[in-house]
Amino acid sequence: MDKRNLPTQSNYDPNNLLSTMTGRLRLRNDAALSRALEVSPPVISKIRHKRSPLGASVLIRMHEVSGLSIRELHELMGGPSPELPVE
């Protein structure tokens, strides 16, 4: 398994997104967040430490449990995705 960090953009910050999700859902830690998102705790850890990208399925699940739009979630991690049109 490749242990290198993902390529980073200067404004990419998954910690901001994960911390916002934890606070918005009134959870205590990443383990509770992983349960709420129905993913294993290592998934959250790898995203937080920039060792794994935030996949579409996790992003959609964040949208479902938080009520935040996909655009808002992208902005929380450092700006809109290049795949999303900017209005």
CB 34 within 8 A of CB 43: yes
**Is the pLDDT confidence value at 86 over 80?**
no
CATH class of the structural domain 14-76:
mainly alpha
Q: What DSSP state is assigned to residue 29?
A: S
Model-level pTM? 0.79
Tens digit of pLDDT for each residue in 19-55? 999 999 999 999 999 999 999 999 999 999 999 999 9
Q: Where are the domains of the chain?
A: 14-76
Q: Provide the residue type at 7 as one letter.
A: P
CB 23 within 8 A of CB 86: no
